[in-house]
Structure 1
Amino acid sequence: MRPMLPTLTFEVPEGKEWLFEAKYDGFRAILHWDKEPSLTSRNDKPLLNLFPEINAFLEQNKDKFDPYLPLTLDGELVFLENAYKAHFGSIQVRGRMRSEHKILEKAKTAPCCLLIFDVLMIKGKKIAHQEYYSRKAELEALFKDCDMPLKPDEKDSRLMQLIPSYHSFNELWEKIVLHDGEGIVAKQIKNKWEEGKRSPLWLKFKNWKYVSCFITAYEKSNGYFYAGVFQGDKVVTIGQFLFGLKPDEKQALFQIIKDNKADEDSQFIHVEPAICVDVKYLEIYEEQMREPHFHQFRFDIKPDVCTYVKFIQQQKNLPPELEITHPEKPLWEIPAIQKIDYIHFLREIAPYLLPFLKDRLLTVIRYPHGIFAEPFYQKNCPDYAPGFVETEMSEGINYIVCNNLQTLLWLGNQLAFEYHIPFKTIYSNGPSEIVFDLDPPSRDAFHLAIKAAIFIKEVLDQLKLISFVKTSGNKGLQIYIPLPENTYSFDDTRLFTEFIAQYLLNKDPDSFTTERLKKNRGGRLYVDYIQHAEGKTIIAPYSPRGNKAATVAAPLFWEEVNDKLTMQHFQITNLIKRINSDGDPFSSYFQTKDIQPFYPVLDFLKQQNKKG
């Protein structure tokens, strides 16, 4: 069965007759399941032998799907990087594998997912002729009944997941840009599934990156134009393009190259850097642009502004309204981090950091000269802030509320290194979480923070409270207990934080203290239960810190909290690699808020308080 295909568009379709789905970079796959499942590619090649993890998952869940067989589903086989992006390179590697041992090893260590967006047959009844809107409703009901994920989630062990539809293009587009996804497929709500047809009722709108570059050569055999940029004095070739040029543009460009050639051989006509163009592409794969398209001629610029630094910067899909000033400015010495490196870090960490900054009054610490000079606190939003920066007045201060990627990157361009937030949102009546800040007297006493965290975790487990832990990024640890919104007061949580503080003191009075005066602490770890209060702030999860080591307030897995833990493992230079390999320890943080069993604990403490 040959799949229905979308038509590429550069215009966003408008009107209520369209729904929108995230587009994923993988192998188009149709699952037909009767007595046994079969998964076939766009070219009708079998896939289950190459992806045994999918076959195993389907067999393990056959009982759930049995009432709906025979069943035919349309989807995309992917290696899911995040909820909105599949990793193209990984699925390509899997598709080329032929060693059974290596295939099984990859299936176990890095399983792929089957993302489903359409149903063509259910209970043996063909429904491809039904309208898309009704097919989608049927598909959603199937996934609910079979207890399958209703949206993509790279951390979910269930390997068949639904691609949901959105009514708002802009709502989905913000997520695609934030997570660097491939793009969006717009589907006309009344379309019927048509085998093998590239339909104008399905439109693909891609998340292009743009690069300003110059022409280096013309390939005679296929008509491709080669593009390059300067890295210092050296020309670096970044790929070749053909699509996007109108016939007259193509002919004119060829003629200019021919008339101004620097060299010619049997394969190429070479030209010196002079003709500047903008090219759009999806991403860099094997050091070349993927799916490059000509965008426009750039007669207004000279070749020397087409640089490798700008090319790398544009790969991260930074908002076009954001101009990075002084990209090569040094901010840290060891590790060596320039401003452009820092902006790239913020771009990549944004999907993990932004949920914690959302709707919170933000205090930042800015380092105008990197760590090489004095920083300053900033609470008030400056007058020169661009229009996309949201603000909120509180006690006479016009705070920044960092609710979007543009604001985060703008703050990064202003060299804000630290992001401090209160324990509640601007819409909360009380605390959104409980946080224990375990602050040892020095970096050499970090073992005291580890000891305290382990003791606290033992109590929280006994109370069946769901907790998360992170480094402070400086010398301590911080333990989080997410709470449902608008449910508890700071007086309520004070009862609990004081209870835990007292528990630590009783457990090990030689290691812990609640003494506020530093001179009286005697080298013990200060358990600051008073700090968790209205108006107080704490460093946000995944925020960088303005110290010499370029460390980050990094979420941890609880099993990492042991004597081997060190702060230097979590730096700006290695944190993204850690997330990509190990995952996000705070991935389920917000889901736990509504299931946190805090009320019985609080009720018990209140009863004890009355007796006391």
Structure 2
Amino acid sequence: MKPMLPTLTFEAVKGDDWHHEVKYDGFRAILEWNKDGIFIKSRNEKPLGDLFPEIMQFLLDNKKTFLPYVPFILDGELVSLEDSFKANFSAIQIRGRMRAKDKILEKAHNRPCRLLVFDLLLLKGVSQVNKSYLERKTILTDFFSMCNLPLKPNERSKELIQLIPGTNDFPALWQQVVLSDGEGIVSKRNSYSYDAGKRSAGWLKFKNWKYVNCFIIKYEKSNGYFYAGVFDQHDHIIGIGQFLFGLKPDEKNALMQIIKNNKTDEDQNFIYVEPAICTEIKYLEMYDEQMREPHFHRFRFDLQPEKCTYQDFAQQRKNLPAEINITHPEKPLWTKPDIKKMDYIHFLQEVSPYLLPFLQDRILTVIRYPHGMLGEPFYQKNVPDYAPSFIETKQHEDIEYIVCNNLQSLLWLGNQLAFEFHIPFQTIHSKGPSEIVFDLDPPSAEGFHLAIKAALLIKEVLDGLSLTGYIKTSGSKGLQVYIPLPENQFTYDDTRLFTTFIAHYLITKDPDSFTIERLKKNRGNRLYVDYIQHAEGKTIIAPYSPRGKEQASVAAPLYWEEVDQTLQIGNYTIINMIERLKNTGDPFHSYFDSKVTQPFSPVLSFLKQEEKKIPKV
């Protein structure tokens, strides 16, 4: 069955007879389960099951749940989900091009994709296409509820089939889409049936455009496209893509005539012009350094070509929340690598889906660098008097801490030049630790191999105890091993038993490499195993937090197979972290799921029994 298609609109849809859904950037997919099997097909009816084995496996693993509803047909979008309102287009494109089975399986494991479902065509063999949108949505929501599937997209859920809900509150949904830099919204008329294979006025897509000022550099004869460019800092022209849509016939004809009358060169394919004609283009995002879905917006006769720079373009590439005013965007923060303030703000915006879950509901200590790496930093715990009203706070021991629960707060802190985000081991709602963390900090950078050795020994113990552990760099000179715990089940006295056990285990295994000696002068070149550091009131650098280090390093989550003697902390920086996430996924993607299944209680019971056997002195 061919899917129903939305019509593009440049005006936000208003009225009580519409509902609105987030539009995600992925592959349109129809899921059909009938007596012959399970089939996932693209809008052009190409099979997608082999490219996304994690979806097929999820369906098979939950076969008993789904069978009572077979045959059914669901309409949705296959996505690489970044957060509840945005999918990663680049990542899904990479998956779509893969053909090697082992590489596909590796991606499916490290960065599983999800099928986000928004419509129902068939259920228990009964067609639903003639029902209204609201009727179909109600039945679909009930189906998801009965199957215990997520009723909204969740990038950290292990359930890979998720519902895209509808709402009649366009402004609130649009605000969330803009905050997350999502693709846009599809507005659906309540009374419309499902028009299979048709582009309907009952579905209208309204996109989250970015805008760029650029100039025209050439015209392609064969297809009528105009090529756009900007100047780099050395006055070299950088091509950023080509456009055609959005031009009215008279605008296009006038533009073609101007180019022909002012051409500097011409060959079989192109007519070339000097930078002179400035335009404003709207587009979705950059992909392979070219604009995606560019549309002509207007001529900029008031603009000189030299004002169309890549620097300005880079600043315009991300829509920032309206509440955030970035001051001094060109301020240099790092020199090697060259990172300016706006670069840093964009990094925080892109890494936020991965960083914010670890800041959620935790009191925050930041280290601010008011002059970047060129000046002295200072710690900040108290919320400043000038903080905006959207900043959440929590009183703790006479200090009014910031609680960074959303993107606005994170970007505001970034504008305040907070480089480091340090959090306690529990949330503001926890009665005990939310995780155990081993901070493996060698005596010097030259001793990093000791941190690697300690981490791998800890991993052996965790595997032997069937505990799930995660590892990240500190972003400084060490490594940190995390053991997520269920909330409100354990005390710091409980976890101290385990950290003490691990510390003594490491010393027993290699006393020349590890020590629990408190005095630095007595440690020598051994790594100090600070099992006391995991305690109430202590803090640790958050996963994906930047560090105030010369190389702009990040406290980077790792896959365990990356932890060997070739590992280097300096390889994980603000410059390459987003690209790493796109290419390899998030090593901590299953972190919060593992909290629920972590079998720490049997381990703790054993340790308590062993403690009772130790004679009291």
Question: For the superposition of Structure 1 and Structure 2, which TM-score range results when normalised by the shorter chain?
Answer: 0.7 to 0.9
Letter in 1 for 2:25: D
1:447 counterpart (440, 449, 458): 449
In 1, the alpha carbon distance for the partners of 2:468 and 2:53 equals 34
1:369 counterpart (368, 371, 379): 371
In 2, the alpha carbon distance for the partners of 1:602 and 1:90 equals 41
- Aligned pairs (5 A) from 1:85-234: 85-88=86-89, 102=99, 115-140=116-141, 161-167=161-167, 176-177=177-178, 180-213=181-214, 227-232=228-233, 233-234=235-236
Matched, 1:47 2:46: yes
- Aligned pairs (5 A) from 1:50-449: 52-53=50-51, 61=60, 68-77=69-78, 84-88=85-89, 102=99, 115-140=116-141, 161-167=161-167, 176-177=177-178, 180-213=181-214, 227-232=228-233, 233-239=235-241, 241=243, 263=262, 273=276, 278-295=280-297, 303-449=305-451
Spell out, residue by residue over 1:46-98, the C-alpha distance to the aligned partner (whole angstroms, 9 max, x if none).
Answer: 302x7644699759849666654443332335566776545546766887x7x
Letter in 1 for 2:472: K
3-state SS of 1:364 partner? strand
2:538 counterpart (536, 546, 566): 536
Distance 1:584 1:367, change over 3 A: same
Distance 1:39 1:432, change over 3 A: closer
Spell out, residue by residue over 1:553-586, the C-alpha distance to the aligned partner (whole angstroms, 9 max, x if none).
Answer: 1112233333333322322233223222222111
User: Which residue does 1:8 correspond to in 2?
Assistant: 8
Letter in 1 for 2:276: P
Kept in 1, the 8 Å contact 2:55–2:114? The answer is no
- The runs of 5 or more residues in structure 2 that have no matched partner are none
2:582 counterpart (580, 583, 606): 580
Distance 1:91 1:551, change over 3 A: closer
Distance 1:475 1:68, change over 3 A: same
In 1, the alpha carbon distance for the partners of 2:535 and 2:103 equals 48
Distance 1:137 1:419, change over 3 A: same
- Aligned pairs (5 A) from 1:480-499: 480-499=482-501
In 1, the alpha carbon distance for the partners of 2:484 and 2:54 equals 36
In 2, the alpha carbon distance for the partners of 1:207 and 1:586 equals 29
Distance 1:488 1:198, change over 3 A: same
Kept in 2, the 8 Å contact 1:166–1:172? The answer is no
Spell out, residue by residue over 1:221-255, the C-alpha distance to the aligned partner (whole angstroms, 9 max, x if none).
Answer: 9887765433343454544556557x6xx858976
Distance 1:537 1:141, change over 3 A: same
In 2, the alpha carbon distance for the partners of 1:366 and 1:333 equals 17
Q: How far 1:311 sits from its partner (Å)?
A: 0.9
Taking every aligned residue pair, what percent have the same amino acid on both sides? 60
Kept in 1, the 8 Å contact 2:82–2:353? The answer is no
Q: Indicate the structure whose relative CO is greater, using CA pairs within 8 Å and at least 6 residues apart.
A: 2
Spell out, residue by residue over 1:341-375, the C-alpha distance to the aligned partner (whole angstroms, 9 max, x if none).
Answer: 33333222211111112222222222333334332
Letter in 1 for 2:429: Y
TM-score normalised by structure 2 residue count:
0.81
Distance 1:297 1:79, change over 3 A: same
State the Cα RMSD in Å. Answer: 4.2
User: Which residue does 1:471 correspond to in 2?
Assistant: 473
Q: Which range is displaced more, 326-335 or 468-477? A: 326-335
Letter in 2 for 1:543: S
Kept in 2, the 8 Å contact 1:257–1:271? The answer is no
- The runs of 5 or more residues in structure 1 that have no matched partner are none
Spell out, residue by residue over 1:460-516, the C-alpha distance to the aligned partner (whole angstroms, 9 max, x if none).
Answer: 344433322222111222222223334433344334333433443444444333332
Distance 1:586 1:39, change over 3 A: closer
3-state SS of 1:362 partner? strand
Distance 1:402 1:10, change over 3 A: farther
In 2, the alpha carbon distance for the partners of 1:405 and 1:528 equals 33
Q: How far 1:593 sits from its partner (Å)?
A: 2.4
User: Which residue does 1:21 correspond to in 2?
Assistant: 21
Distance 1:401 1:89, change over 3 A: closer
Q: How far 1:540 sits from its partner (Å)?
A: 0.9
Kept in 1, the 8 Å contact 2:144–2:163? The answer is no
Distance 1:587 1:512, change over 3 A: same
TM-score normalised by structure 1 residue count:
0.81
Distance 1:243 1:413, change over 3 A: same
Distance 1:278 1:402, change over 3 A: farther
Q: How far 1:312 sits from its partner (Å)?
A: 1.7
Distance 1:214 1:569, change over 3 A: closer
Q: How far 1:192 sits from its partner (Å)?
A: 2.5
Spell out, residue by residue over 1:328-352, the C-alpha distance to the aligned partner (whole angstroms, 9 max, x if none).
Answer: 5443344444444333332222111
Distance 1:478 1:94, change over 3 A: closer
Distance 1:177 1:463, change over 3 A: farther
Kept in 2, the 8 Å contact 1:21–1:163? The answer is no
Kept in 1, the 8 Å contact 2:546–2:554? The answer is yes
Spell out, residue by residue over 1:114-168, the C-alpha distance to the aligned partner (whole angstroms, 9 max, x if none).
Answer: 543222112321111234344345445656777877666779998x733431546
Letter in 2 for 1:535: G
Q: Which range is displaced more, 20-29 or 119-128? A: 20-29
Kept in 1, the 8 Å contact 2:355–2:545? The answer is yes
Distance 1:217 1:461, change over 3 A: closer
Kept in 2, the 8 Å contact 1:281–1:293? The answer is yes
Distance 1:297 1:500, change over 3 A: same
Distance 1:500 1:130, change over 3 A: same
Letter in 1 for 2:161: Q
3-state SS of 1:573 partner? coil
Q: Which range is displaced more, 210-219 or 563-572? A: 210-219
* Number of residue pairs matched by the alignment: 600
Matched, 1:456 2:458: yes
3-state SS of 1:368 partner? coil
Distance 1:474 1:54, change over 3 A: closer
Letter in 1 for 2:4: M
Distance 1:21 1:517, change over 3 A: same
In 2, the alpha carbon distance for the partners of 1:355 and 1:163 equals 21
Kept in 1, the 8 Å contact 2:216–2:229? The answer is yes
